[in-house]
Structure 1
Amino acid sequence: MSLDDARRLHQLKGQVHRLVQAIMEALNGTRPLQQLSRWMEPPLFSSLQLRRALVQECQEHFGRDRPSPYADAHVQSVHAQCVTPLVLEATAVVRCRQRTRAVAIRMEARRVSWIVTALEIG
Structure 2
Amino acid sequence: MAGGALWCLGAEAVVLASVAVVWTVADRPDPGGVAAGVLLVPLSAAMGAQATTVLSLGREGAPTTFFTSTLTSLVAGFAARQPGGVDGWAVARLACLFAGACGGVLVRRAVPDVALFLPAVLVAAAVVVVAAGRRE
Normalised to the residue count of structure 2, the TM-score between the two structures is: 0.28
The answer to which structure has the higher helix fraction is 2
Flag the structure with more relative contact order, 1 or 2, with Cα contacts below 8 A and sequence separation at least 6: 2
Normalised to the residue count of structure 1, the TM-score between the two structures is: 0.31
Look at both structures and tell me which one has the larger radius of gyration over its CA atoms: 2
The answer to which structure has the higher strand fraction is 1
